[in-house]
Structure 1
Amino acid sequence: MNTYKSLLLALFASLLILAACNRNKSNDSGQKTSVVAKGLYSFGPEIRSFTDCEEGREYWVIDSAKTLELAYSNLGFEKPYTPVYIEAECHFIKSDTTTVTGDYDSTMVVTKLLKISKQIPEGPCNQ
């Protein structure tokens, strides 16, 4: 009987350790890794899009930093949707297929605007 209790206690302790290890792994995978994206950003009443110049992929943009749309507006364009070159820290999430964002490859969540310019640099962005 004593051996049975010891075995049961060891099994319970093992399960407890496994549960603790799995919980730490799920927290690590839940963290979003930031990348620096470089490309063309267009903004207007119905569109907030980013085109990655290297891959040509188009993303819907969420401005979580609340600086991208303001910086775009401060450039003083007469017409909306004029593309500008940006570099931004961001992460990507899956687009909601039931909204306008579903038409895009993914959604780019901007966490920090690094650069915005009317001048589009030479290279793949300027083709």
Structure 2
Amino acid sequence: MFLKAKKESDINLEQHELLEHAQIRIKQKKRLYAHFIIFLVGSVFLVLINKILKYGEAYDWFIWVITFWSFLFVMHLINVFVTQKFMGLAWERSQREKLVKKQKTRIAALQKEIETEFPISQINKKKED
């Protein structure tokens, strides 16, 4: 009975993790789409400022601004769609397991060091005295 309850709680925990991950991905994609819309509107606005309002008309500065902004948008796009595939949920889980294993190894080494420096038999003798 206990094992069945534990398995159900593990399943619920895993479902909760998957739901959390899905919500995070939705937010990332939503921000990316918002960035794209702002990029389009902002680019048109920059062209209008330069060409129609004739602000800095001697030099087409908007090209450099839009190029730099395009670069930032491409970086955002890569972060959302490429990097997340390599460093997604499975990667996070494996990294977490590696860190837990490393911590357990350190704790075991510390316990062994303590046991060799302060054996329990010596502690018991000191208590008896």
- TM-score normalized by structure 1? 0.33
Bigger helix share: 2
Q: Highest relative contact order (Cα 8 Å, sep 6+), 1 or 2?
A: 1
Bigger strand share: 1
